[in-house]
Amino acid sequence: MVISQRQHIYFIGIGGIGMSALARYFKANGNTVSGYDKTPSDITSGLEALGISVTFEDDIATIPNEFKNPELTAVVYTPAIPKANKQLNYFIEHNFNIKKRSEVLGAITKNTICFAIAGTHGKTTTTSILGHLLYQSKAPVTAFLGGVSENYDSNFISSGTELSVVEADEFDRSFLTLSPDYACVTSMDADHLDIYGDATELTKSFEEFSKRVKANGKLFVKSGLPIKGISYGLEDASDYSAQNIKIVNGSYVFDLKTPTATYKDFQFNLPGRHNLSNATIALAMSVEYGIPQPQLAKALASYKGVKRRFTYQIKTDNLVFIDDYAHHPKEISAVKDALDEMYPHKKVLAIFQPHLYSRTRDFADEFAESLSGFNELLLLDIYPARELPIEGVTSDWLLSKISNPNKKVISKSEIIDHVQNSDASIILTIGAGDIGEEVKHIKQALSVAS
């Protein structure tokens, strides 16, 4: 997809985290950008602040006139958009140049040294760490993030175009449009079974992705996964491994063992060994590319994280409020493990919004097990995203499987009352839907109460 600076770009689903990063890229590239999304959000507000017009009504009349010429306008859409979307069908019927987000990302990165991060968990954090390491080391990099970086308050980082860092998304097999020079696979737990049908097909897709790495490229694989590559792990015999891990003043301090040397005293400020694993692979890819250790150590110590990835909203001696994007049982368990490591014996109130009817159905027992570990649990209704309801799959049904007796299904309007009346010293919001929009209200209510 060749796009000139004179061309207009219209995004259908522009408020999506991956789509908005592309919108920022093309805006910075000199293109005229506009788009549609279902609802306003902080992301769309950020785009509008850049001069990108966004409409929230799926109507042909709301498409700006300058974007209705197929000779001058290219259209980018996300597969999450319903097929019945009026604007998408208008562009199809009038023969516009229409591409999926993944195809555009593949075209942009094709002529760069591409770093692609794949895995059912850990993509966004790993991508943001790697983008930060390269950017702070003065490499000419453009990074497309699947979350908002705390360091840059953006999901788009750019200091040049020679290198690119992208998330290699397994949803809809999107990552098969990439041909990376450096790639990693962080995890291969079953997910997106609405697309793949079963875990075997998901594994095959990751195997196919591994073959997309260029002939002289490098593939990194988390130890224990069934794909061959440069291995990485924590305190094990992997090619790259974090060793001598200690917690000092709430931060990890560790050594990085490489195939040829051991680098001492890295500092990493995010809680959770899953995040430390993400930092390890980001360091490994940076070392293989050639970034010197002193620059990497300095950059890693300044990394602040990604919004909605174990993000502290309140952190005092008496009360902690953390928000996290976790929406898969493995991710929820990783957050719980991080809390146990950082705050042993503290009472935790978790508020979870299930994401997708199909995911809730496919992993109901696993969700029940991971959610039963919290002292108190509040469930919101399932966030449908791109799906229609599935009969019998509800938050009440999921609640019935959870063994924790301190559990309840509530509406969003009831969150504040429950939080204020809880004696838990740790409040946790988790989920990939619009629960993130409630965080500021919860934070405000807790701040006033304290």
The superfamily (CATH) of domain 8-99 is NAD(P)-binding Rossmann-like Domain (3.40.50.720)
Can you tell me the distance from the alpha carbon of 3 to that of 26, in angstroms, rounded to the nearest whole number?
Answer: 9
CATH architecture assignment, domain 110-301: 3-Layer(aba) Sandwich (3.40)
CB distance 280 to 222 below 8 Å? no
| Cα angle for residues 43, 48, 50 (degrees, 5° grid) | 100
Within 8 A by CB and 6+ apart from 381, the residues are 353, 394, 395, 409, 411
Homologous superfamily (CATH) of 311-449 is Mur ligase, C-terminal domain (3.90.190.20)
Q: Give the integer Cα–Cα distance in Å for 91 and 60.
A: 9
Tokens matching residue 185? 């696979």
SS3 248: strand
Spatial CB neighbours of 346, under 8 Å, sequence gap ≥ 6? 320, 339, 425, 426
Q: What is the pLDDT of residue 192?
A: 45
**What residue segments make up the domains of the chain, in order of their start?**
8-99, 110-301, 311-449
Is this model's pTM higher than 0.75 or not?
Answer: yes
pLDDT tens series, the chain, 450 aa: 556 656 999 999 999 888 999 999 999 989 999 999 998 988 999 999 999 999 999 999 999 999 999 999 999 998 888 889 999 999 999 999 999 888 898 889 988 999 999 888 888 999 999 999 999 999 999 999 988 999 999 999 999 999 999 988 766 667 787 889 999 999 887 554 455 455 677 788 888 888 989 989 999 999 998 899 999 999 999 999 999 999 888 789 999 999 999 999 999 999 889 899 999 999 999 999 999 999 999 999 999 999 888 889 998 888 999 999 999 998 999 899 889 988 888 999 999 999 999 999 999 999 999 999 999 999 999 999 878 899 999 999 999 999 988 999 999 999 999 999 999 999 999 998 889 889 999 999 998 765
Residue 196, pLDDT score: 46
**All residues at 6 or more sequence positions from 377 whose CB lies less than 8 Å from its CB, including other chains:** 349, 350, 351, 352, 371, 402, 404, 406, 407, 408
Q: What's the pLDDT at 450?
A: 59
Which pLDDT belongs to residue 191? 56
For residues 362 and 393, the answer to whether their CB atoms sit within 8 Å is: no
Instruction: Enumerate helices (H) and strands (E) in the chain, giving the number of each.
Output: 15, 21
CA angle 423, 427, 431 (to 5 degrees): 145
- Whether the Cβ atoms of residue 274 and residue 309 lie closer than 8 Å to each other: no
Q: Following CA atoms 54, 56, 62, 63 in sequence, which dihedral angle do they give, to the nearest 10 degrees?
A: 50
